Amino acid sequence: MTFEPLRTQVNSIMKNSKSVDARLLEICELLESNIPYYNWVGFYFKNGDKNELKLGPYVGEPTDHTIIPFGKGICGQVALSNENFVVPDVSAQDNYIACSITVKAEIVIPIFIDGENIGQIDIDSNTPHPFSEKDERFLEFVCQKVAEIL
């Protein structure tokens, strides 16, 4: 999988004049429709001063997990660790919040503004062990671009 053409499209989306949420949704749609093993793509953001994440724009199956406390699940752990979290097999994780029985793997990359973790991109895959270092680098690029419009 080559991510270079998608980088150009991400840059283009970030430069358009739509609302932030509209651009974030467009990013979700772009990734989900162009990367076969990205089956749920969404953003979570810190919910004000609370130690929890709130679901932002996403594409994929509806989720009940609109609020996630810091420390809970993969997203909640990234909110505390400030580090990428790649889960090749969600069934091997004790602190995994199941969104769907079809999900086999997850990757979560934090978004930073001035060194502060303000949110993250969360991707679920129905394919076991799909994510590589190339996914991590590409998603770090996406998160950097997202931070520039927030």
Name the residue ranges covered by the structural domains of the chain. Answer: 4-149
pLDDT digit string (tens) for 126-141?
999 999 999 999 999 9
Q: Give dist(CA 101, CA 52) in Å, integer.
A: 24
Q: Note the pLDDT of residue 48.
A: 95
Q: Note the pLDDT of residue 101.
A: 78
pLDDT digit string (tens) for 100-124?
778 999 999 999 999 999 999 999 9
Q: Give dist(CA 133, CA 148) in Å, integer.
A: 23
pLDDT band at 99 (very low <50, low <70, confident <90, very high): low
Domain spanning 4-149, CATH architecture: 2-Layer Sandwich (3.30)
Q: Is 148 helix (H, G, I), strand (E, B) or coil?
A: helix
Least confident segment among 15-29, 36-50, 94-108: 94-108
Q: Note the pLDDT of residue 54.
A: 98
Q: Give dist(CA 79, CA 48) in Å, integer.
A: 13
pLDDT band at 1 (very low <50, low <70, confident <90, very high): low
Is residue 5 classed exposed, middle or buried when 0-12, 13-18 and 19+ CB atoms within 10 A define those classes? exposed
Question: 């979570």: which residue's tokens?
Answer: 44
Q: Above 90 in pLDDT, residue 143? A: yes
Q: Is 32 helix (H, G, I), strand (E, B) or coil?
A: helix
Q: Note the pLDDT of residue 115.
A: 95
Q: Is the pTM of this model over 0.75?
A: yes
